Amino acid sequence: EQPSISLNDGRSMPQIGLGTYQIPDGDTAGVVQAAIDAGYRAVDTAAIYGNEAGTGAGVRARDETIFVTSKLWRDDFGYDAALKGFEKSFDRLGLDWVDLYLLHWPFVEETRFVETWKALVRLREEGRVKSIGVSNFTMDHLERIIHDTGVVPAVNQIELHPSFQQVELRAYHDENHIVTTSWSPLGQGAALADPAITAIAEKHGKTPAQVVLRWHIEAGLTVIPKTTNPARLAENFAIFDFALDADDERAIAALDRRDGRIGPDPTTFAG
């Protein structure tokens, strides 16, 4: 049985889900169904990915309860705009509710994210969104919305992989009961060629991707690896039959780099 993690609003979320960034909408329903057939019970999409329709269609095609995450893009920031933006995502998904709805980025010089956050609080009260959170928020951004609204996000979804482990932000999340989701958990594939990772993989008779994903799970993170390849879908899910040891953990901890970020820096990203 796959593990779930408790959220600060009393709900829980599967620790592993399918990431869909860069999957074309027309392919997404098929990939989502294949993932569900492989055992996945969570899927992560976003308005800006352009594949909410395919994601919803894939979920509706299977008779399983799937934890669905989507995200609000910059065009729809602001209180009223966010409510309307959600309506569009909700229609595209075609589901009865959205499990987790996130502010996608804090966008530099964007002062409206507090107002936008208040709209998400309202959507949760209305019930079509079950849990609310943010993505790519720094400690300062989190402090701001918590201070101004008193509502602590259930999740902050951030870039996190062995080369960029976000140790300080994770400690802040833990203190504030915010669950961390790792995006690009495989470092967009780069972690898989690291000699330290391949050595651990060989030792356990596992693949590098399985070692890296297992590391996220054991660290108490939620993780959303992206693949469209059916064999890799299964591979990435087959991580519940082995465990890393203390040597493995030390070796992976040593891969963390201050400059290991691959994606945009949230303090300068303008969308």
Residue numbers at the binding site for ligand A2P (CB under 6 A):
19, 184-189, 192, 209, 225-229, 232, 235-236
Token couple for 237: 């899910």
Question: In 10 A of CB 172, how many CB atoms?
Answer: 16
Tokens representing 140?
A: 């300062």
The three-class DSSP label of residue 173 is helix
Q: State whether residue 246 is helix, strand or coil.
A: helix
Q: Count of CB atoms within 10 A of residue 242's CB?
A: 12
Give the C-alpha distances (Å, rounded to integers) separating 182 from 92, 102, 160, 204.
25, 14, 5, 23
> How far apart are alpha carbons 21 and 136 in whole angstroms?
15
Q: How far is the CB of 146 from ligand A2P (least distance, A)?
A: 29
Is 49 considered catalytic here?
A: yes
Taking the CA atoms of residue 34, residue 38, residue 41 and residue 44 in that order, the dihedral angle to the nearest 10 degrees is -50
Shorter beta-carbon distance to ligand A2P: residue 78 or 260 = 260
Choose the catalytic residue: 21, 49, 79, 172.
49
Smallest separation (angstroms) from ligand A2P to the CB of 227: 3
Give the ranges where the chain is alpha helix by DSSP (H). Answer: 25-37, 52-60, 79-93, 113-126, 139-149, 167-175, 195-204, 208-218, 230-237, 246-253
Q: How far is the CB of 68 from ligand A2P (least distance, A)?
A: 18
Closer residue to ligand A2P (CB): 31 or 59: 31
Nearer to ligand A2P, 70 or 227 (CB): 227
Centre a 10 Å sphere on the Cβ of residue 65 and count the other Cβ atoms it contains: 9
| Residue 192 C-beta: closest distance to ligand A2P, Å | 5
Smaller CB separation from ligand A2P, 155 or 213: 213
Least Å distance between CB 181 and ligand A2P?
A: 12
Look up tokens 């009961």; give the residue. 177
Q: Determine contact, residues 55/93, Cβ cutoff 8 Å.
A: yes
Looking at the Cβ atoms of 156 and 184, the one nearer to ligand A2P is 184
User: Shortest distance, CB of residue 199 to ligand A2P, whole angstroms?
Assistant: 17
Residue 204 or 232: which CB sits closer to ligand A2P? 232
Q: Which residues are catalytic?
A: 49
